[in-house]
Amino acid sequence: MEIHELVIEMKLLERRLTLYEEKYGVLSGDFYAALMSGKLARYDDYDETRADFSRWKGIYETWLRRKEAYTEQIQHHKHVPPDTKHNRIPAPEMSVTRPNLPVLIRDIEALASN
């Protein structure tokens, strides 16, 4: 998955997590830690809560996997700042010695006529 796809999916998952966080008044990370340590075992008696917790846990674990993939990709992604002084690519027909407005007008008219 590409970085931007991971971000989009993580944001969608976060929206779903927010519903449970608001319903139960606890952040997903805290819920997950309590669930995994067995502190929420008494809630297993209630069908609705059990179903919610099961879904919440699944969504959170999916979010954790996406977060891990995102972090891994970001760490391996090397950003090279642009070197505009040495790597200039002039725009076609643009100049620093003559007016560029006629060229721009022609290009805009061509785009508008399509």
The residue extents of the domains of the chain are 3-76
Mean pLDDT of the chain: 85
CB atoms within 10 A of CB 38: 8
pLDDT tens for 44-80 read: 666 778 889 999 999 999 999 999 999 998 888 765 5
Nearest-CA neighbor of 92 among 82, 83, 104, 84?
104
Size of the chain in residues: 114
| Secondary element (H or E) of residue 22 | helix 3-24
How far apart are alpha carbons 38 and 59 in whole angstroms?
Answer: 19
Q: CA-CA distance, 21 to 59, in Å (whole number)?
A: 12
Give the pLDDT score at 44.
Answer: 64
pLDDT class of 14 with cuts at 50, 70, 90: very high
pLDDT exceeds 80 at position 41: no
